[in-house]
Each structure stands twice: as structure tokens, then as C-alpha cells.
């Protein structure tokens, strides 16, 4: 008989005390004797034909070691089957003893799939950002299209607001001498755009090609970054050339030239708005999904076996090294450690919720998926590939679990105007 006592150490670690009595142990020992006899060559006898007594006498220690290993493996398998333990990794015996009556007692610490005691997964309080696409954002997006078609001309005169200035810059010390390593070549600044530094941009107005000028930046005493508060920076700038960007007029002809089957400016504005709304709706859903998974993982703490984490990281390392063989494995593992933990926790937690709520994929779910797909060739490919179908079913089920969680959460909408 094989008996097992289980001591729970954590949600994914258990200590097993397995006892294998003499009657159960003897057949295992006999099996190992047969294996050793079959494989060894003893002088004076053909391979596999030496007397059993001689084999036991010559290889007794080996036989006992093999017996212990096989018995522990059998005991572990029996414990897993009878107690529905899903063991991960390769456990090792912490203790192995023989009792006076010939039974084997071993203590093994194992890692198992995590046991999740679902506590909080309904009525989660979440905030959903709802983005409102304004006319201004639509116009700005279209302006970017116009900039791609802009005409760039050289300015002969002085730089003005809106002009593009190409220049070299050299930072100076307090005595007005160049600071080594602080020379910046080929800087491009559009005056008034504010992407450079508004204070420095204004000082470029009026300069012409080949002009040189000293400009400065004075930080206020209450500047948030204390190392800059009250500090003055000085630069010399050498203007290389000045350009002007002329955007094409937004007309029906311009729209037609885009080659996107638009006929009028209104067509372009409508399509641009729809694309922006779709993009930000997706952004909103992704953020809500991330917030939900984060909140659920925090509300339902449990441990993840290290063996599963390392397996996850093994796959990440393999993928990253394939992209760039020069990457260091230890750096990859360190960088993705937290991601591995979170991803595994969320996967097991989601699965536990799905089981608890009996969320399954039925024929109607599959039909809806394929109806929305609308591409017959793709449908045929999916249906003819069992592995792809399993993946599709998993995705559908995960979506149903997510929808269930959202329906059972308290969501406050936060409107954000995009302009």
C-alpha cells in the first residue's frame, strides 16, 4: 500500500510524506534486480545470465539506489493521481528513510498548479475613459496629411514665426567659452511650434542664413527641477538655412489626389473622424481591460510556481535571442520577471473564474465568430485545422469571461475631450 500525507505550504507548494510499505516495495526491488541482471556483464557468465544471488551481492548498493528512485517516482505518481495534484517542475526528495518493518518513507516538497480561492471578482469598481473626438482633433489629423504634401521653399530673408530653421548650437560656460561635448549640429526648429524651447525659439526670429548669435535660457527660481532653478544657459547659434512650409489648400481636388477613394473634403473629414473614434474606442477598451485584470489579480492573491515562471521566461528568452542574439539572457529574465508573474496569475485567475461561472463555448459562439469573419477561405482554413480551432475557442471563451466580468463590475465613465 502507498499512503500520502499532504501539508500545504502555500497556494502552489505542498509537502508530501509518502509511505510505501514492504509489500509494495518488494515488486519494485525485484524489477530493478531484473534490470541490473539484464544489463551487466559478470566474468564467467553471459550478459544477462548471471545468477540472481551473485547480481544482488555484486550490485546490491546500486540495486537499492535504483529501487529508492523508482519507488519514490511511483509514490509521487500515486499521490498525484489519488489527490488530483498537478505537479510542475522536477521535485526532489528532502528525506528518505527505511522503517524497521521495511517500509520506505520519503518527504518531498512539490510545486503544483496554484489553488485559487476566489474571493473578489464581482462588483469591481473601475473607471473607463471615454474619448470624445473633437473637430479640432479631426482638423489636426488632416493637417498632418497636408504636411506630408507640403511645399518646402528656401527663405532669403529673416526668420519669422512658422519658419523652419536649420542650425548648429554650442553651449557656453559662465565665461562664454564653449563647453566640450556640448555642441549640437544640424538642429531643426520650427519657430512657434514649441517642440524645441519656446524661449529659445523666440530669439531666433529676425536671424538670417549664416548669422551667428548668442541666445540664453533663464530658468525661474521656482522651477520644479531644483538643479535647474535660477540657472542660466547660454548658447551660440549658427544659422545654416531657413525654410518655409506651405501646406496645400484643403480642397476636393487635394482629397482626390490622396488616392483613398475620397471625393470631397467632407468625405475625408467623415472617414478621419470614424478612424479616430475607432482607434480611441479600442484604446479605451484596452485600458479598461488592463485595469480590470490588475484589480482582479490584486484582489485575489496567490502564488505561482517558480517552475512555471521560469518556463515562461525560457520562451521569452528564446524569442528575444532570436531577434537579437547579442542580448544577455540574465538581463532579459530580469526585465520580464514581473510580466511573467502577472501574465501567469491573470491566466490562472481567468480560468478559475470561467470554471466557477461555467462559462463555455457553444456552437452559437462559433457560428457568430465565423459569421463576423465573412471570409470564406479563412473560415475553411480555421475549420480544417484542429489546433487553430482550439485557439479560436480559447479566444472566444476568454472574451466571454471578460464580458462577464465587465457586466458584473461597477464602471464609472470619465469623458475626455481630445483637442
The pLDDT tens digits of the residues spanning 76-111 come to: 888 888 888 888 888 888 888 888 888 888 888 888
pLDDT of residue 356: 93
Stretch among 34-48, 245-259, 266-280, 323-337 having the lowest mean pLDDT: 34-48
Task: Output Rg (C-alpha) for the chain, integer angstroms.
Answer: 36
User: Measured between alpha carbons, how far is 259 from 51 in angstroms, rounded to an integer?
Assistant: 90
Are 414 and 128 in contact, with CB atoms under 8 Å apart? yes
Cell numbers linked to 345 = 496569475
**Angstrom distance (rounded) from CA 52 to CA 36:** 10
Query: For residues 134 and 418, is the Cβ–Cβ distance under 8 A?
Result: yes
DSSP letters along 184-218, please?
EEEEEEETTS-SS-HHHHHTTTT--TT-EEEEEEE
**Own/partner pairs, 401-405, CB within 8 angstroms, 24+ separation:** 401/350, 401/353, 401/354, 401/357, 401/359, 402/289, 402/292, 404/353, 404/357, 404/359, 405/121, 405/122, 405/124, 405/292, 405/296, 405/353
Task: Give mean pLDDT, residues 31-47.
Answer: 76
What's the mean pLDDT when you consider all of the chain? 89
Residue-wise pLDDT for 281-330, tens only, equals 999 999 999 999 999 999 999 999 999 999 999 999 999 999 988 899 99
| 67: its cell numbers | 529501487
Domains of the chain (ranges, CATH numbers):
2-112 (3.30.70.1050), 151-246 (3.10.50.40), 264-418 (1.10.3120.10)
Helix-helix angle 386-407:376-383, to 10 degrees: 100
pLDDT exceeds 80 at position 32: no
Q: Kindly report, residue by residue over 353-406, the tens digit of the pLDDT.
A: 999 999 999 999 888 888 888 778 888 888 888 898 999 999 999 999 999 999
Q: What is the pLDDT of residue 55?
A: 65
Instruction: Indicate the pLDDT class of residue 344, thresholds 50, 70 and 90.
Output: very high
Instruction: Compute the CA torsion angle 86, 88, 93, 94 (nearest 10 deg).
Output: -100
pLDDT tens per residue across span 66-75: 878 888 888 8
The pLDDT of 163-178, averaged and rounded, is 92
Grid cell, residue 80, equals 498525484
Contacts of 197-206 spanning 24+ positions with Cβ under 8 A:
200/235, 204/159, 204/165, 204/167, 204/237, 204/239, 205/158, 205/159, 205/160, 205/161, 206/158, 206/159
Amino acid at each position: 500500500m502507498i499512503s500520502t500525507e499532504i501539508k500545504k505550504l502555500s497556494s502552489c507548494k505542498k509537502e508530501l510524506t509518502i509511505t510505501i510499505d514492504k509489500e509494495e516495495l518488494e515488486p519494485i526491488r525485484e524489477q530493478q534486480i531484473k534490470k541490473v541482471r539484464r544489463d551487466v556483464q559478470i566474468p564467467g557468465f553471459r550478459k544477462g545470465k548471471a545468477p540472481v544471488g551473485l547480481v544482488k551481492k555484486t550490485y546490491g548498493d546500486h540495486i537499492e539506489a535504483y529501487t529508492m528512485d523508482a519507488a519514490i517516482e511511483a509514490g509521487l505518481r500515486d499521490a498525484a493521481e489519488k489527490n488530483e495534484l498537478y505537479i510542475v517542475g522536477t521535485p526532489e526528495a528532502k528525506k528518505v528513510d527505511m522503517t524497521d518493518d521495511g517500509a520506505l518513507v520519503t518527504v518531498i516538497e512539490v510545486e503544483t498548479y496554484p489553488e485559487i480561492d476566489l474571493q473578489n471578482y464581482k462588483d469591481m469598481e473601475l473607471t473607463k475613459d471615454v474619448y470624445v473626438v473633437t473637430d479640432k482633433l479631426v482638423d489636426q489629423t488632416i493637417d498632418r496629411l497636408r504636411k506630408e504634401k507640403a511645399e518646402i521653399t528656401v527663405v532669403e530673408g529673416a526668420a519669422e514665426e512658422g519658419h523652419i530653421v536649420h542650425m548648429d548650437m554650442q553651449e557656453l560656460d559662465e565665461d562664454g567659452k564653449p563647453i566640450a561635448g556640448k555642441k549640437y549640429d544640424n538642429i531643426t526648429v520650427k519657430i512657434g511650434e514649441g517642440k524645441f524651447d519656446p524661449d529659445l525659439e523666440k530669439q531666433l526670429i529676425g536671424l538670417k542664413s549664416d548669422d551667428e548669435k548668442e541666445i540664453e535660457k533663464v530658468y525661474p527660481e521656482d522651477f520644479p527641477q531644483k538643479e535647474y532653478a535660477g540657472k542660466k544657459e547660454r548658447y551660440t547659434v549658427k544659422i545654416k538655412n531657413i525654410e518655409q512650409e506651405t501646406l496645400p489648400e484643403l480642397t476636393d481636388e487635394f482629397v482626390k489626389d490622396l488616392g483613398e477613394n475620397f471625393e470631397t473634403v467632407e468625405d475625408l473629414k467623415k472617414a478621419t473622424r470614424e478612424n479616430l473614434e475607432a482607434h480611441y474606442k479600442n484604446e479605451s477598451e484596452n485600458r479598461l481591460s488592463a485595469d480590470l485584470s490588475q484589480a482582479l489579480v490584486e484582489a485575489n492573491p496567490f502564488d505561482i510556481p517558480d517552475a512555471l515562471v521560469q518556463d515562461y521566461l525560457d520562451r521569452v528568452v528564446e524569442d528575444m535571442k532570436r531577434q537579437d542574439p547579442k542580448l544577455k539572457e540574465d538581463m532579459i529574465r530580469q526585465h520580464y520577471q514581473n510580466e511573467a508573474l502577472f501574465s501567469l496569475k491573470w491566466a490562472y485567475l481567468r480560468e478559475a473564474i470561467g470554471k466557477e461561472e461555467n462559462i463555455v463555448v457553444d456552437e452559437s459562439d462559433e457560428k457568430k465568430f465565423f459569421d463576423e469573419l465573412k471570409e470564406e477561405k479563412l473560415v475553411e482554413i480555421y475549420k480544417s485545422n484542429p489546433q487553430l480551432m482550439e485557439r479560436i475557442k480559447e479566444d472566444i471563451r476568454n472574451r466571454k469571461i471578460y464580458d462577464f466580468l465587465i457586466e458584473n463590475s461597477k464602471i464609472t465613465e470619465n469623458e475626455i475631450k481630445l483637442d
